[in-house]
Amino acid sequence: MRKKSYNMLTDPPGRSLLLFALPMIFGNLFQQFYNIADSVIVGNFVGERALAAVGASYAITNVFIAIAIGGGIGSSVIISQCLGAGQKSKMKTAVFTTLINFLVVSICLGALGLFLNHRILGWVNTPQEVFLDAALYLAIYFAGLPFLFMYNVEASIFNALGDSRTPLYLLIFSSLLNIFLDMVFVIQFQQGVRGVAVGTLIAQGVSAVISFVLLLRKLKKYETDEPCRLYDGGLMVSMVRIAVPSIIQQSIVQIGILLVQSVVNSFGASVLAGYSAGMRIESISIVPMLAMGNAMSTFTAQNVGAGQLERVKKGYRMCYVTVLSAGAFLCVLYQLFGNVFVSAFLDAGNGSVAFQTGLDYVKFLSFFYALIGLKASTDGLLRGAGDVKAFTVANLVNLSIRVVVTNVFAPVYGIQVAWMAVPMGWAANYVISFGWYLTGRWKWKWEKVGKVTKRN
């Protein structure tokens, strides 16, 4: 199949955004399949308790994934702006600076995670009957954290360079490898939770190495008149200023889920298993929404780097068309066939409480997926323009609503409050971010970021 080419600076905004976002959507779907393979396999071949153990670890592991993705996206804003401004040498320096920064960060976080493994599970009230399996899964995960970080950061760099296909191909490969290894270790060698953790670690390691080699080859194609440096402190400061709020923005949902997890865990292993299945389905469902937000971030960064602000507004309007259409489709799909999706994780006959919990979760949240798409697109525009304060505040409000509502009302009214609080946070986030967009102040922020990239 012939590849469709596009240019974010000259092509119709809707076309360039969609062509850029589609590989990201498919890539992120495979990323989720890559993540949920553990749950599907242990849920079907080991049992409900094994699924609960992986689910107890899932909220914790997603916080670290969000840090990697958020950091990569935040740093890629500078990379995209340098590329859009034609500063190829600085762009290469920004890439190398990003890789070095996150390699160091991932090693430190992995060591910290191994040290605090049992304490973290204790803080979120992990049920005793699944505690040891959850601790084993989490320990192996932390050991492979540098691989996970480097792959996700490298994928963000590819996207910043306008290449969203390479991460897609790598994800397809790594997802299939992960599923194969999981099945071998669990079904053939009867390794249970340990097997899926080791399979995931190996798949992540292979993906990270291959991605690094391909990235180096891609960078060689950019000819420069002046040599690039391996590290630049000035660019690092510029990246941190955008990356830290972006990490907060990407992490906020996962931190909220983690804090909510402690309440969910108190309802026991069966409810935890059902809730885990619902979270996995939610993570797949919001992929197109988050992908449009990330695409909007790159689109905005490249166009503001070239001084084309009106194109940003046109692209933003096209995001609305996409996310509203996707949200309507998902709502109809889960209302009609929600039980089919939950049954991929749980047997309705053998775990009726778990199954019904997952089904209730999926059906309720399906009405609100378009809302997170609107939120993600608006946040992406602000992030790409370098205007990070507004959406950071918005996401903190999002987190606060979810955590407070769940902790105060779930013990009184039941587990369903845990997912009812989700759209409340999304709505508040969107209202704040959209209100800031309407002020037009994001147009001024990019000039400050642009001056930094030019000076460095």
Give the model's pLDDT for residue 453: 44
pLDDT given at position 353: 84
Q: Tell me the per-residue pLDDT of 149-183, one tens digit each, with 9 for 90 and over.
A: 888 888 888 878 877 778 878 878 888 888 899 88
Burial class (CB in 10 A: 0-12, 13-18, 19+), 3: exposed
- pLDDT of res. 349: 60
What angle do the packed helices 192-220 and 48-84 form, to 10 degrees? 10
Backbone angles phi, psi at 266, to 5 degrees: -70, -15
Which of helix, strand or coil describes residue 49? helix
Q: Is the model's pLDDT at 335 over the cut of 70?
A: yes
| pTM of the model as a whole | 0.67
Instruction: Give pLDDT, residue 315.
Output: 87
Q: Are 426 and 368 in contact (CB under 8 A)?
A: yes
Look at residue 456 and tell me whether its pLDDT is greater than 50. Answer: no
In order of 20, 44, 65, 149, 290, the CA distances from 207 in angstroms are 21, 26, 15, 11, 22
442-455 and 287-305 helices, crossing angle to 10°: 60
**Residue positions counted in the chain:** 456
Asked if residue 250 has pLDDT above 70, the reply is no
Q: Calculate the average pLDDT of the chain.
A: 82
